[in-house]
């Protein structure tokens, strides 16, 4: 690995989601696991464990109200003691009976007000935690044609976004996430990158788009969206996960490692891998049947491997082949990087960073899961809706 690639990989940050450590499931069943955290503090301890073994996951995203605590300064200090920081604050306006017909786009102004109040509460939390990013995903939409007026819902959405955005200060950002469908099945109010992009343009420079890799129609060329938004300076973050069918929330890089490489190739080409590139690389996954901490470590390593391959692309040769119109030559250059086994290089990088070269084996050997399983008795394991 070149010195430059190693230096970039050392500085890469991958944020893990607090909810990945809690119990989750499908609408059919939540399978409880052992040693699952019961509160935000214990989720932070798990996230810090992932960072201890990978060296590249120094922040954890919170989801409010799932991670609500009395004292956010205290929570921040606890995270720092564990060796990580609190990251993105995710708003949750999708798990309340009042939101049956939507949150910020609800036809009832009282419900809209309640949803906006929650968004503003999330900004207060950011002020206390020092988090830079407010991530907004709305489950809002309709199930039946004629159920509500599509254009009015866009007006209500714009109004709510405006209010949240104008509450932000300093370098805080508003990150708007889109999703094709689910839970709305007819029309979702922020269904695609174009809608998210248009709202972010209207809001101004602190609003940027989040690409959740599981939120597209099958076959969508996600790297094209990446390239487009990068060019417009409107790509704020990723929610990485992988999918075979819809929003499966499986481990990043598990279903389609080549897609992850193609995405990271656009990022590497734009020199935007490290935090100064302004893109937050987050995981948004649920580990329903697999051991959770180990699955998060695997996902972090998968993103790191895709990034390492992307950094190996010979950009000079690629540009020359593209300019000369060498269709297959250009493709070969990209595929050469993709087919490189970067695992030995990454083992070396970890040794240079003072880490065990094999994070998963080291984690399993550490006895962490056995320890927390013994400690975390009583109380209620964190999970969907808790
Ligand atoms: C919605 O499916 C989503 O991707 C949003 O990011 C939510 O905040 C998250 O999942 C909840 O798990
Ligand atoms: Mn997401």
67 CA distance to ligand 1 middle (Å): 14
Q: Which is nearest to 153 in space by CA: 140, 171, 136?
A: 140
Of all protein residues, the one whose alpha carbon is nearest to atom 7 of ligand 1 is 137
Q: What is the per-residue pLDDT for 1?
A: 65
Ligand 1 atom 11, closest CA: 284
Between CA 334 and CA 197 the distance in angstroms is: 29
For the CA of 247, the nearest atom of ligand 1? 2
The ligand that comes nearest to the alpha carbon of residue 93 is 1
For the four alpha carbons of 314, 315, 316 and 322, in that order, the dihedral sign comes to positive
The helix-helix angle for 359-366 and 40-54 (nearest 10°) equals 130
Which of 222, 212, 207 minimizes the C-alpha distance to 175?
Answer: 207
Q: What is the pLDDT of residues 304-315, one digit of tens each?
A: 999 999 999 999
Shortest CA distance to 241 belongs to which of 5, 14, 26?
14
Please tell me the distance from the alpha carbon of residue 188 to that of residue 17, in angstroms, as a whole number: 24
pLDDT digits (tens, 9 = 90+) for 341-384: 999 999 999 999 999 999 999 999 999 999 999 999 999 999 87
Residue nearest to atom 12 of ligand 1 (CA): 284
Residues 6+ apart with CB under 8 A from 211: 193, 222, 225, 226, 229, 235, 237, 238, 239
CA-nearest residue, atom 9 of ligand 1: 284
Q: Residues with Cβ < 8 Å from 235, sequence gap 6 or more? A: 208, 209, 211, 226, 229, 272, 279
| Structure-block tokens of residue 72 | 């956010």
What is the best residue among 67, 87, 90 to mutate for testing ligand 1's pocket, by most ligand atoms within 8 Å of CB? 90
Helix (H, G, I), strand (E, B) or coil at 123: helix
Nearest CA to ligand 1 atom 1: 137
Q: Atom 5, ligand 1: which residue's CA is nearest?
A: 137
Contact 307, 273 (CB under 8 A): yes
Residue (of 161, 135, 200) closest to 153 by Cα position: 161
- Residue 101: count other Cβ atoms within 10 Å of its Cβ: 16
Q: Give percent above pLDDT 70 in the chain.
A: 99
For the CA of 92, the nearest atom of ligand 1: 8
Candidates 44, 226, 43, 206; CA nearest to 133 is 206
CA 159 to CA 308: how far, in whole Å?
42
pLDDT of residue 385: 54
pTM greater than 0.95 (yes/no): yes
- What structural domains and CATH numbers belong to the chain? 3-375 (3.20.20.150)
Ligand nearest 139 Cα, by number? 1
Ligand 1, pocket residues at CB < 6 Å: 19, 90, 137, 177, 179, 212, 239, 247, 284
Q: How far is the CA of 50 from the centre of ligand 1 (A)?
A: 21
* Sole residue written with tokens 């962490």: 368
Please give the distance, rounded to the nearest whole angstrom, from the Cα atom of residue 180 to the centre of ligand 1: 12
Beta-strand ranges (E) seen in the chain are 16-17, 59-64, 85-91, 133-137, 141-142, 173-177, 187-188, 207-212, 235-240, 280-283
| Atom 3 in ligand 1: residue holding the nearest Cα | 137
The predicted structure's pLDDT at residue 206? 98
Q: Where are the beta strands (DSSP E) in 42-95?
A: 59-64, 85-91
Which parts of the chain register pLDDT below 50?
Answer: 386
Return the residue whose CA atom lies nearest to atom 6 of ligand 1.
Answer: 137
pLDDT of residue 290: 97
Q: How far is the CA of 137 from the centre of ligand 1 (A)?
A: 7
CA 179 to centroid of ligand 1, rounded, Å: 9
Distance 249 CA to ligand 1 centre (A): 9
**Mutation to probe ligand 1, out of 137, 176, 287 (largest number of atoms < 8 A from CB):** 137
Instruction: Choose the residue to mutate in 30, 43, 212 for probing ligand 1, maximizing ligand atoms within 8 Å of C-beta.
Output: 212
Distance 333 CA to ligand 1 centre (A): 36
What confidence score (pLDDT) does residue 2 get?
74
Can you give the C-alpha Rg of the chain in angstroms?
21
Largest Cα–Cα separation, the chain: 67
For the record, the structure tokens of 327 come out as 């269709």
Q: What are phi and psi of 257, to 5 degrees?
A: -60, -25
């Amino acid at each position: 690995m070149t010195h430059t690639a190693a230096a970039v990989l050392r500085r890469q940050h991958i944020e893990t989601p607090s909810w990945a450590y809690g119990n989750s499931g499908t609408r059919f069943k939540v399978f409880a696991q052992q040693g699952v955290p019961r509160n935000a503090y214990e989720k932070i301890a798990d996230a810090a464990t992932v960072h201890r073994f990978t060296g590249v996951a120094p922040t954890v995203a919170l989801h409010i109200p799932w991670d609500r605590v009395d004292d956010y300064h205290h929570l921040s200090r606890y995270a720092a003691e564990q060796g990580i920081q609190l990251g993105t604050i995710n708003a949750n306006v999708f798990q309340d009976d009042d939101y049956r017909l939507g949150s910020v786009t609800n036809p009832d102004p009282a419900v809209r007000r309640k949803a906006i109040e929650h968004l503003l509460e999330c900004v207060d939390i950011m002020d206390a935690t020092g988090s830079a990013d407010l991530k907004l995903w709305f489950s809002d939409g309709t199930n039946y044609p004629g159920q509500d007026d599509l254009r009015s819902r866009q007006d209500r959405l714009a109004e709510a976004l405006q209010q949240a955005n104008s509450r932000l200060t300093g370098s805080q950002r508003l990150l708007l996430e889109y999703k094709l469908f689910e839970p709305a099945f007819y029309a979702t109010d922020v269904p695609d990158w174009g809608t998210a992009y248009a709202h972010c343009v209207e809001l101004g420079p602190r609003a940027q788009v989040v690409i959740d890799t599981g939120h597209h129609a099958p076959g969508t060329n996600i790297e094209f969206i990446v390239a487009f938004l990068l060019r417009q300076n409107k790509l704020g973050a990723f929610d990485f996960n992988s999918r075979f069918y819809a929003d499966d929330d499986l481990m990043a890089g598990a279903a389609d490692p080549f897609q992850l490489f193609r995405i990271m190739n656009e990022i590497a080409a734009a020199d935007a891998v490290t935090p100064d590139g302004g893109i937050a690389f987050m995981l948004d996954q649920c580990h329903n049947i697999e051991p959770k901490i180990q699955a998060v470590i695997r996902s972090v390593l998968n993103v790191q491997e895709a990034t390492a391959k992307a950094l190996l692309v010979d950009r000079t040769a690629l540009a020359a082949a593209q300019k000369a119109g060498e269709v297959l030559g250009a493709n070969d250059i990209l595929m050469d990087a993709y087919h490189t086994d970067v695992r030995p290089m990454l083992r070396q990088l970890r040794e240079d960073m003072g880490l065990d070269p094999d994070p998963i084996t080291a984690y399993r050997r550490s006895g962490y899961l056995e320890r927390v399983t013994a400690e975390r008795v009583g109380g209620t394991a964190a999970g969907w809706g808790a």
